[in-house]
Structure 1
Amino acid sequence: MKPTIWFLPSVFVFFAVAIISSLADDLSVLLKLKTSLVNRSVGGSGLDDWDPSASHCNFTGVTCDQGYRVIALNLTRVPLFGSLSAEIASLDHLASLVLAEDNLTGKIPPEISNLTSLRCLNLSNNNLSGRFPPGFGRLSELEVLDVYNNNLTGPLPVELGVLRRLRLLHLGGNYFNGSIPMEYSNILSLEYLALTGDSLSGRIPPELGRLQNLQQLYLGYYNTFQGGIPQEFGNLSRLVRLDMGECNLSGEIPTSLGRLKSLDTLFLQFNNLSGLIPPELSGMTSLKSLDLSNNHLTGGIPESFSALQQLTLFNLFRNQLFGSVPALVAELPALEVLQLWENNFTGELPEDLGKNGRLVLLDLTTNRLTGLIPTGLCTGGRLQKLILLDNFFFGPIPESLGDCKSLTRVRLARNYLNGSIPAGFLSLPNVDMVELSDNYITGSLPSEISPSTNLGWLILSRNGLSGSIPAGIGNLIGLHTLLLDGNRLTGSIPPEITGMKQLSVLNLSHNELSGDIPSSIVLCKSLGTIDLSENNLSGGLPIDLPNLSILNNLNVSHNLLSGQIPSEMNRMSLTLLDLSFNNFSGELPTGGELDFFNQSSFAANPHLCSPRLAACIPIATDAPTGSKQLLSPQKLRLAIGFLVFLVIAVALWLGRACWIRRCRHSQEWKLTPFHRLDFTCRDVLECLKEDMVIGKGGAGTVYRGTMPCGTEVAIKKLPGMGKNNRNDHGFSAEIRTLGRIRHRNIVRLLGCCSNAETNLLVYEYMPNGSLGDFLHGKKGEHLRWEMRYKIAVEAARGLCYLHHDCSPLIVHRDVKSNNILLDSDFEAHVADFGLAKFLRDTGASECMSSVAGSYGYIAPEYAYTLRVDEKSDVYSFGVVLLELITGRKPVGEFGEGVDIVRWVGKMVSSSVEPATVVASLVDSRLSDYPLESVKHMFNVAMRCVEEESSKRPTMREVVHMLNGPASLLII
């Protein structure tokens, strides 16, 4: 009995020692983790209460079992992504760890694999980097592993395939590369697998079809797989959601997917899938959302889809589908969104479409559909967007749409619709856009128009509308685009039009309007385009028309206008001016913008006088014959020969004198100060060392220097006006102009050191460099949303000053994130280190000989016509706003020939809801942001990057919009 008596205490001591050792190991791992992960904004540990003198089970984010072993570690700022069951959720019952306004950076230490009792590890929504550490195969108890939205690199960890208890695995939103390990098919307990947003390639392992417990599978976005969808995925019988959008899939859609009876979401959009839509997909009887858009699918909609009775979202746009839209689509009882645009559908729409009372969005743009628009589209009063552009619909617009108060957008342009505009159509309370152009609509505009702040676009161009423009149109106080051109409107322009204070585009051309141009039109201060051409207008131009400071396009040609052209028009910044075919008289004002327009802008005004017009050139009819030839040919040749000899002799003498002077003075430096300076050119020259270079570009090199007084400066070295430069191209004038600029958000030019060979521009130094380097570099995660918004507002103020308040006005021509510099407080300052690209001092628009600027920021009209004005800067600034929102560079991330504007436009056009697309575009490094604020900046950005310059706001308007409440624009 003695051996047994001695054995029991020994076993007890052994287990006690093992438990104490394990607890000590857990504590040491957590302390190691603390040293590896830091709060990125303050540079110290973000785990302040992880004190070695305290119990590790009380550490923030740590959960222990009854034996004090760590079973859950939650270091995310966001609750667990996509919990699948009460059991998994119970592992994540902790409050999310909030580290001030920032999250964690650093590397995951390999020692974390010593937490052998760990069941839940959530490190998502941080900024962890490096490769996934080895040793995770030891965590045999692990059920949840979530590292979503970090900066992890390298291949996916293969050893995770041995974790038999793992139910949730989220490795998306990182930079993992290589292929999906086949070993993941061994995790038979897996219920949730997400690998979206990485950089994976190779083929998708068909062995994943063995994961019988899988409920959610996400593989799309930024991954570029080879091949297609494995047939074996049809074996995932418990699958609820399958998202493989935008990951380069090819081939046909497997018919085996029809066996997924539990599937409610199938997203395969933005791929290269081809072939027919399999009728077998009708077997997915639980399906609610089906998106097969942006592929190369052919054929029609299978009749068997009538079995999809729970379908709410049905997207097939941008394919090569044809045939009719079958009646079964109208019979789907839950259908809310139907988007079939950019296909080849023909025939008539089902008469009962919309009568299910659930329809919210219908977009059938660019097909060959014909027949009448169904009358029951707004049954149930939920229809918000009706978009039927570019089809062959005929007949009247259903009167029922005039009572559809849920409508926010109606676009029926380029069809064959006739009849009149339904009563109440322009008074719908929520509508923001009505586009009925290029149809055969007749009748008059509704006489009663209710006040509206929502309606922004009213586009009725090229129809057969008649009668007068009603005075009630002034009630549309939110309208910014009014296009009534190409109709048969009569009467005068109502003075009430000035009630539309936000109006920026007014086109009433090609009508039969008469009377004067209302002088009160100048109260519409936001007008950028006025086109009143091809009417019967009389009287003169409003004397205060030059007060429309942001007017870009003015066309009043082919009217009966008379009188003198206001002399103040020479100070307007116009890019288009047409006063031709009128009865203007008197002398044409000269100077400023007017000198840029050729004679065609003033043609057919017989009484208009100008040195540039034939009518102003006196013609001598009685000059003596001898006066026509003052010199004989012999005398003329002698005079020319003597003159040539004299010019050559003087040139040789001057050349020798200049060479001597240049040799003597080429090294003499001159300092031109623009502020009070405590340094000399010698101090500046001492900073021109290779180890002081902070940037190089096509125009020169930038050095960082410290003056003897302690002032830090940035020095831009540019070629001088020596023998390699024929003249300074206005350089000296531009230097003086910039030196006079005094604005908080424009980088200060302190002075200029120059000699015959070199110019050194001395600027105030910006410690945080450029916005582009900061945003797209390793420090980009530091820029929280509030900081980004502040930078946008400050940069806009700087450009607004250049465009509207600086004297003379300046067009930047190279607005980009790299030319927005950040000081020590992250305050934005607009800079121009490409100084040689400035426009002339007048700030007027100009037709350039070549495109200057940076690829991805150049406005379309600048690239195509070489004509540039301040709206070109607005476009470039809109690109900067998109950079701030998405965290992406303007080019290089979206495929060949695609820039950020086209990429975003494609996303917007394919989105169901604006909030959805904005949320999908936001920089993944922004883990916490106010969505409404992001949407507001996005709306401003999209207005700035309008393809037509006249539709863009001015920088003054941009500042106002960014500082004001959320925009009324709807994406």
Structure 2
Amino acid sequence: MGSPQARVPSLLCFAFSSLLLSACSSSSDLDVLLKLKPALTGPGGSGLHDWVAPNPSSLSPTAHCSFSGVSCDRDSRVVSLYVVFVPLFGYIPPEIGLLDGLVNLTLAADNLTGPLPQEMAKLTSLRLLNLSNNGLLNGSFPGEILAGMTELEVLDVYNNNFTGSLPVEVVGLKKLRELHLGGNYFTGEIPEAFAEIEGLEYFGVQGNTLTGKVPVSFARLKNLRGLYLGYFNNYTSGIPPEFGLLSQLEVLDMGNCNLSGEIPPSLGQLKNLNTLFLQVNKLTGTVPPELSDLGSLMSLDLSINSLTGEIPMSFSKLKNLKLLNLFRNNMVGSIPEFIGDLPNLEVLKVWENNFTWKLPENLGRNGRFLELDVTSNHFTGLIPPDLCKSGKLKYLILMENNFFGPIPEGLGKCPSLQKVRIAKNWLNGTIPAGIFNLPKAEIIELNDNIFSGELPREMSGDKLRILSVSNNWVSGEIPPAIGNFKNLQTLSLESNRFSGKIPAELFSPQNLSKVSISGNKLTGEIPDSISQSPTLGLVDLSRNKLGGEIPKGLSNLKILSVLNFSWNRLTGEIPDEIRVMTSLTSLDLSNNDLSGRVPLGGQFLVFNDSSFAGNPGLCSPRHGPCPSPLSFARNHTSFTSLKVIITVTGLVTVMLFITVTVYVMRKRRLERSRSWKLTAFQRLDFKAKDVLECLKDENIIGKGGAGIVYRGSMPYGVDVAIKRLVGRGGGCNDHGFSAEIQTLGQIRHRNIVRLLGYVSNKDTNLLLYEYMSNGSLGELLHGPKGGHLQWEMRYRIAVEAAMGLRYLHHDCSPLIIHRDVKSNNILLDSDFAAHVADFGLAKFLQDSGASECMSSVAGSYGYIAPEYAYTLKVDEKSDVYSFGVVLLELVAGRRPVGDFGDGVDIVRWVRKTVSELSQPSEAASVLAVVDPRLSGYPLESVVHLFKTAMRCVEDESCRRPTMREVVNVLTNLPTPAVAEPNLL
């Protein structure tokens, strides 16, 4: 050995070398991060703004450690890259493999594209790899990159687009604790070898399209705490009884995955289980009493199966139970008294069973009750008086039973109530006044009972959307205070004993869409205020004693589809303005005292003679000449002359007013043009003034509920679609609107119409979209050239439109509900590729996973999902229903409404047509409804699309597929060859 003096230089040299190596490594990591940034952000992305090269004069070896999402160790090596919920819209480049010191790589919810680079195999120090919720990482998962990641503890690729088999390579990751592979398109069976990952605590493959049997070998995973196997997987077995050996299991989620057989009693051995979800399967038999041994159980969902028998009496031991869902089974018996004694029970849903007797009187006395739904059973007796003892009861749903007696007064003092749905019982007495003053109530349905007395004079509630008191014995006048429900959308008071006049205030709520007060004893005239409610879609005032003339101004009701004034005492002539009400598909003016001619042309071509029957003074020129006008007006000559003078004078006044108004508006437009601002989401070679010059009537290519659309020819030969929004002012000062538009401007998908930018000032917003030269699917399919759109092209359009909706629902951030899916909102480019359009005013889903959004306009007539009539809310499944209607249009070549008679849409027509077949089959069903203009189509392919459409238009939203599943079904065989359309 050398002397100590000799070793000193060596130690100094070693220390200096280590320091130099550390400095070089940190400098290298900085370079890598700067190379990663442009790839991660992509051309249309944003974020990572502080990832910039430092000034060379002040270069610090730790500069990159302060970048957002970056963490370093003591040697300034990057050990953690954590970037979540950032709209990057890029991809993971091969350079990621140079960050070989990474312990945590989390790039979640960043809209990244794929595939994953092989260079990730160099990240051998990783303990956590989280690429979840990107949605566009596609292709097979490259399992070979995992070979060297021997330290990996968490692998999370949930909610992407990976396909193929599950990566069996994970079996080699002996330290793995969490494996999340759900929300993808993995196929095949779950490998039995996964049971060799002995330390696994959480395993999730939910939301794929897996098949085969549920692996019994998983019973060997003694450390499992969460097991998620359900949702759109399609297993061919039941629940393995061996799962009762998973002693550490806390969550077992096997909902909606085609399970069959009985629930194994051995599950009662899972002492740590707090959540058991087995809903939406094909389970049979009774509920095992052994489940009462699950002392930690908080949530039990066995709904939508074929279970029989009674609720086990031993369930009285489930003291921690908060949620009990048993709805849509075949269970019998009564609800045991002990259910009301469960100290933590918050939610009880047992609807659509065969339960009998009465509800426990003590229900709600635990002070925690939130939701009760017992719809469609055979319950009787009184409504329990203490349901709202907690002051937290939100949903009270008792419909379609045999309850009797009055509504407990306490429910009228329950400020937390949001839904009161107690229709179709035998309830009686006067409705408590407090029911009409619940501050959070959104739905109050009291119809089809035997309530009597009068409605209270005072009413209030800013959130009430549905009020139904129809089919009772309620009398007295309709309270004007109904107008205080500012957000009321549906009012049903028909078939009662109301008298007096219709209050003008009844039509004051600005979102009112349905008013039905037929079958009462109302008198007086129809108030003129009806024409000031432009959102009305249905008005039924029939079977009353209303007099006077039909109000003027009905043409203001631009989306009215059903109007029924029959069986009243109306006089005068039918307003000619109804001729231009193109949305009106059902009109009934029969059995009144109307006179004069039935107007010809326009929308009157849609109505048949029954709409006007029972009016002796009416005549229709369609059935011969009407009597001479002199015979009608012999005693009214002077009055007619006066009307002519007044009309001419009015016309002159109006023309003068229009001239002055146009002059003033043009002058103001010129003044405002200086303040127009163009906001672009990509490079645009034109300016705001180029857009404004295109706002001419001759450039209009479409009008809809959202606004007017112009075709704009920009400099350098670029065409754009300019949408001028109606009723949306604020321009750049509307920060909420600007934020929405900024988000929409980041959306990039080949089947989504791209938002190029917008032009705005303080009064107006003009959205700029890429121009689609072949118009909309609706115009093409239902126009004169629809017969030339043959099957191959129809199928391709269906697939491409589905892919666009899938992106909105599952892959973009934030997720988007379209809310107005229809054939006219599927646009076709020069190659007839489909692009989903007109979702600019859609509501965004929050990251918390809320799936409902409020809607004042829920779509277009004929496309609206049936549940909207009850909830007035839309979600992803509402879009799925609308898309199903579009698919039926493609199959049948018919419009959604108007071809089948009053009140019948395409869904009802298809169901009726199919149900009447003498020898029903899939092929016969298609042949009965298929577009006769189609020739030489592949029957198997049409049947495939037809079956998908019928799944999409299921009445119950829970039975409809997701758009992700729709795409998967449509892109599987049989798939027709793509052909060019014949449009000659």
Q: TM-score if structure 2 supplies the norm length?
A: 0.63
Matched, 1:116 2:124: yes
Within 5 Å, give how 1:488-503 maps onto structure 2. 488-503=497-512
Alignment partner of 1:569 is 2:578: yes
Relative distance call for 1:438 and 1:43 in structure 2 (3 A) is closer
Choose 320-329 or 55-64, whichever is displaced more: 55-64
Please list the CA deviations of residues 144-166 of structure 1 after superposition, one character each: whole Å capped at 9, or x if unmatched. 22222232222222232232221
CA contact (8 A) 2:102 2:126 kept: no
Matched, 1:866 2:899: yes
Q: Give the structure 1 partner of residue 632 of structure 2.
A: none
Question: Which residue of 332, 344, 366 maps to 1:322?
Answer: 332
Q: Distance in 2 between matches of 1:44 and 1:525?
A: 40
Q: How does 1:442-453 map to 2 (within 5 A)?
A: 442-450=452-460, 452-453=461-462
Mean CA deviation greater in 143-152 or 780-789 = 780-789
Match of 1:145 among 135, 142, 155: 155
Q: Which amino acid aligns with 1:465?
A: V
Aligned to 1:179: 189
Partners of 2:212 and 2:236 within 8 A in 1: yes
**2:937 is the alignment partner of 1:905:** no
8 Å CA contact 1:313, 1:336 repeated in 2: yes
Match for residue 724 of structure 2?
none
Q: Give 1:277 shift.
A: 0.8
What does 1:519-918 align with in structure 2 at a 5 Å threshold?
519-573=528-582, 574-612=584-622, 616=626, 773=800, 776=803, 780=807, 814-819=823-828, 854-855=886-887, 866-867=899-900, 896=948, 898-900=950-952, 902=954, 905-906=957-958
Whichever residue aligns with residue 236 of structure 1, its letter is L
Structure 1 pair 45/562, CA: closer, same or farther in 2 (3 Å)?
closer
Judged with a 3 Å threshold, the aligned counterparts in structure 2 of structure 1 residues 130 and 503 are, in CA distance, closer, same or farther, namely: closer
Taking the aligned partners of 2:26 and 2:242, their CA distance within structure 1 comes to: 43
TM alignment of 1:184-333, pairs within 5 A: 184-333=194-343
Hey, what's the Cα distance between the residues in 1 that align with 2:395 and 2:538?
A: 28
Q: Does 1:362 pair with 2:369? A: no
Whole-angstrom distance in 1 between the partners of 2:828 and 2:600: 35
Contact map agreement 1:322 1:345 (CA 8 A) in 2: yes
Are residue 169 (structure 1) and residue 201 (structure 2) matched? no
Aligned counterpart, 1:104: 112
Q: Distance in 1 between matches of 2:515 and 2:305?
A: 39
Q: Does 1:42 align with 2:43?
A: yes
Q: State the AA in 1 paired with 2:42.
A: S
Question: In the comparison of the two structures, how many residue pairs are matched?
Answer: 715
Q: In the aligned structure 2, how far is the partner of 1:455 from the partner of 1:782?
A: 28
Structure 1 position 895, deviation (Å): 7.5
Per-residue CA distance 1:127-151 (angstroms, 9 max, x = gap): 4333323263443322222222232
Q: Which one is further off, 67-76 or 108-117?
A: 67-76
Instruction: Identify if the C-alpha distance between structure 1 residues 580 and 174 changes in structure 2 by more than 3 Å, giving closer, same or farther.
Output: closer
* Counterparts of 1:20 and 1:294, CA distance in 2: 63
Once residues 112 and 746 of structure 1 are traced to their aligned partners in structure 2, the CA distance between those partners, rounded to angstroms, is: 38
Post-superposition offset of 1:435: 0.8
Q: Against the structure 1 CA distance between its residues 181 and 535, is the aligned structure 2 distance closer, same or farther, given a 3 Å change threshold? A: same
1:397 aligns with 2:397: no
Q: Report if aligned partners of 2:105, 2:129 keep a CA contact under 8 Å in 1.
A: no
Q: 1:74 to 1:185 in 2, by over 3 A?
A: farther
* Cα deviation, residue 905, structure 1: 2.1
Structure 1 pair 553–209 and aligned structure 2 pair: CA distance change class (3 A):
same
Deviation at 1:107, TM superposition (A): 2.8
CA 1:181/1:376 → structure 2, altered by over 3 Å: closer, same or farther? same
Post-superposition CA distance 1:563-603 (Å, at most 9, x none): 22223332333211222112112233223222332222211
Question: Relative to structure 1, is the Cα distance of residues 859 and 342 closer, same or farther in structure 2, using a 3 angstrom cutoff?
Answer: farther
Change (3 A) 1:616 1:905: same
Give 1:472's aligned residue. 481
Distance 2:798 2:465 in 1: 33
Output the CA distance in 2 between the equivalents of 1:852 and 1:227.
31
749 and 78 in structure 1: CA distance in 2 versus 1, 3 angstrom threshold: closer
Distance in 2 (alpha carbons) for counterparts of 1:482 and 1:152? 48
Contact 1:33 1:109 in 2 (8 A): no
**Contact 2:413–2:434 (8 Å) recurs in 1:** yes
**Kindly tell me: are residues 815 and 758 of structure 1, through their superposed partners in 2, closer, same or farther at Cα, counting changes over 3 Å?**
closer
Structure 1 residues 105 and 758: CA distance shift in structure 2, 3 A? closer
Structure 1 Cα separation of the partners of residues 212 and 810 of structure 2: 34
- Would you say the 8 A contact 2:73–2:79 is kept in 1? yes
**CA–CA distance in structure 1, aligned partners of residues 950 and 382 of structure 2:** 38
Secondary structure of the corresponding residue to residue 577 of structure 2? helix
SS of 1:400's partner is: helix
Counterpart contact for 1:38–1:45, Cα < 8 Å? no
Cα separation, 2, equivalents of 1:815 and 1:891: 24
- From 408, 414, 429, give the equivalent of 1:419: 429
Rg (Cα) greater in structure: 1
The Cα offsets for residues 782-829 of structure 1, whole Å up to 9 and x where unpaired, read as 99858986x969xx8xx9xxxxxxxxxxxxx832435489999x9958
Provide the C-alpha distance between the structure 1 equivalents of 2:770 and 2:117, rounded to a whole number of angstroms. 45
Seen in structure 2, the aligned counterparts of structure 1 residues 124 and 102 have a Cα distance that, compared at 3 Å, is: closer
Instruction: Give, in whole Å, the separation in 2 of the partners of 1:607 and 1:280.
Output: 76
The separation in 2 between residues aligned to 1:255 and 1:366, in whole angstroms, is 29
CA distance in 2, matches of 1:202, 1:545: 60
Q: Which stretch has the larger CA shift, 186-195 or 112-121?
A: 112-121
Cα distance in 2 for partners of 1:357, 1:73 equals 46
Q: Could you say if the C-alpha distance between residues 57 and 416 of structure 1 is closer, same or farther in structure 2, counting changes exceeding 3 Å?
A: same
SS of match in other structure, 1:393: strand
1:66, 1:360 → 2: CA distance?
Answer: 52
Distance in 2 between the 1:500 and 1:28 partners? Answer: 61
Give 2:133's aligned residue: 125
- Contact kept, 8 Å, 2:586 with 2:902, in 1: the verdict is no
Distance 2:805 2:549 in 1: 60
Contact (CA 8 Å) 1:814, 1:854: kept in 2 or not? yes
Offset of 1:75 from its aligned partner?
Answer: 6.2
The CA deviation at 1:472 is 2.2
Deviation at 1:340, TM superposition (A): 0.7
Cα distance, 1:365–1:456 mapped onto 2, change above 3 Å: same
Q: How far does residue 219 in structure 1 lie from its aligned partner after superposition?
A: 1.4
Determine the C-alpha separation between the residues in 2 that align with 1:491 and 1:749.
57
Cα offsets for 1:684-739 (capped at 9, x unmatched): xxxxxxxxxxxxxxxxxxxxxx999967899xxxxxxxxxxxxxxxxxxxxxxxxx
Q: Which shifted more, 331-340 or 563-572?
A: 563-572
TM-score, normalised on structure 1? 0.63
CA contact 1:271–1:294 (8 Å) conserved in 2: yes
For 1:498-538, what per-residue CA distance to the aligned partner results, in whole angstroms no more than 9, with x for missing partners?
Answer: 33333221211111112222233322333222211111222
Instruction: Give the whole-Å Cα distance in 1 for the aligned partners of 2:948 and 2:809.
Output: 30
Query: Displacement, 1:778?
Result: 12
Q: How far apart, in 2, do the equivalents of 1:74 and 1:419 lie?
A: 62
1:542 aligned partner, one-letter code? P
* Contact kept? 1:326, 1:350, Cα under 8 Å: yes
Which residue is equivalent to 1:461?
470
For the residue of structure 2 that corresponds to 1:338, the secondary structure is: strand
Structure 1: tracts of 5 or more residues without a match: 80-90, 619-675, 678-705, 715-741, 752-756, 762-768, 800-812, 831-842, 846-850, 876-889, 909-919, 925-971
Aligned-CA RMSD value: 5.3
TM-superposed deviation, 1:376: 0.9
